[in-house]
Amino acid sequence: MKILVFSASTGGGHKRAAAALKEYIEANSENTEVRITDGLAIAGKAYNKFVCDGYTTVAKAAPKFYGRLYKNSDKQSKLNDLCNGVNKRKGKQLLPEINEYNPDVIISCHAFTSTMLGELKTKGEIKIPVISLITDFAPHYTYIAEGIDHYIVSSEKMVAAFKTRFNIDSSRVHAFGIPTFEKFSIEPEDKGELKERLGLNKDEKVILFMAGSWGVTEVLDIYKDIADKTDNCQFVVITGNNKKLYEKFEKATNDKTILKQFVDNVEDYMHSSDLIITKPGGLTVSESLQCALPMAIYSAYPGQEAENADFLVESGVALLLKKHPGETVSALINFDSKLKEMSECCRRVCRGNSPKQILELINRILAE
């Protein structure tokens, strides 16, 4: 069996979901090969740059304006028609990759590639089953495309929304969750031993900052406020590939903080932590849910981040940090029963076997 996954570089979440799916399927399905391709890159260099850079630039520089764009495109509108029209025309750019690889199933991890593939399917240019994998926690009109056979979503609430808002039969919408690597679901046998291995004090609580996607001034101010107001606690700050942020933190961290750039064992830091402070990106959130790790969310951009944050707060797994992050986090980190309650909510919300269920769905589709 051959599976072709179209991903995108609009943030790391789409690519991580695709990679997690590939890892599981190739390890658990004999004679199966999964190829991951950047669909937006194939659609054109200028187009890819416009889409990938556009979200980050507009969301950071003019968040309210981006929020209006997001809301306006979440319905039948001129903006949505324009977006769909462009993506439908771009679909032909995917055909050489599809024809060369000749997959049995195609999975799309981005709304725009779903539109492209749906158009190819509707026009009869491909006859391959197409699955759209949605890496957020709320539905949006741009995800919906004629020609898509099945949708993978994060919750039963989204299944209901697809039925009521978009009139898509629930048999085609599956609340399997966002795929994550299996290592996030494996709890350590001895959390204290894990903490010591990471250079942490096993007797103190740990607050983890996933800081790479934040603005430099913003995240430094939050860290300083929380560090100043939180006693008997240690911190881990992961800046990812944000070199400028790492250099700023080098000058600002206290002696109870471990500062890291890109790490390949983020699951260890999550499993050893008591609270994560993060933006509500779909994959970081899904990985935190897998680790039963309570979340404190700051500065969600209007649009999908804000909707993700709303879902998480309503589900009891997160709280929002507003005007006084230091005081809020200090109170929460010392409120053991609340942290335990939030962890239990994580376990209820988490869809821990997403890759397994997606593989089972693929096998059912091909058997039919």
> How is 299-341 classified by DSSP, letter by letter?
-PPTTHHHHHHHHHHHTTSEEEE-S-HHHHHHHHHT-HHHHHH
pTM summary value: 0.90
The pLDDT of residue 80: 73
Cα separation, 111 vs 113, in Å, equals 6
| Grouped pLDDT means (10 residues each) for the chain, 368 residues | 93 86 96 95 88 76 82 80 84 95 96 94 95 92 92 92 93 94 90 94 94 69 91 91 87 90 93 94 89 91 87 94 91 94 92 90 94
Residues 260, 198: contact at Cβ < 8 Å? no
Which CATH topology does 2-180+352-367 take? Rossmann fold (3.40.50)
Domain positions in the chain = 2-180+352-367, 185-349
Both tokens of 312, joined, read 């998480």
* Topology match between the domains 2-180+352-367 and 185-349: yes
pLDDT at 213: 60
The per-residue pLDDT for 54 is 75
The Cβ of residue 202 has, within 10 Å, a number of other Cβ atoms equal to: 15
Q: Given this model, what pLDDT does residue 51 score?
A: 83
Tell me the two tokens of residue 103.
Answer: 């997959």
- Domain 185-349: which CATH class? alpha beta
Which of 8, 13, 39 is CA-nearest to residue 282? Answer: 13
How far, CA to CA in Å, does 202 sit from each of 172, 234, 329, 338? 47, 10, 20, 21
pLDDT value of position 215? 57
| pLDDT of 214 | 57
Is residue 251 within 8 Å of residue 272, measured between CB atoms? no
